[in-house]
Amino acid sequence: MKKGEINIITKLDDQDYKDIINESLKETL
């Protein structure tokens, strides 16, 4: 990961980030 990508993730709210992870996991199932 690049520094910029990490910064974008840290700017997201924890709940929003969790929702994104959940959606990503659903797609892989």
* Sequential pLDDT tens for the chain (29 residues): 566 566 655 666 677 778 888 888 888 76
Q: Tell me, yes or no, if the pTM score tops 0.95.
A: no
Q: How far apart are CA 20 and CA 14, in angstroms?
A: 10
To which residue do tokens 């994104």 refer? 20
How many residues make up the chain in this entry?
Answer: 29
pLDDT at 11: 63
pLDDT at 17: 76
* Euclidean distance between CA atoms 4 and 15, whole angstroms: 20
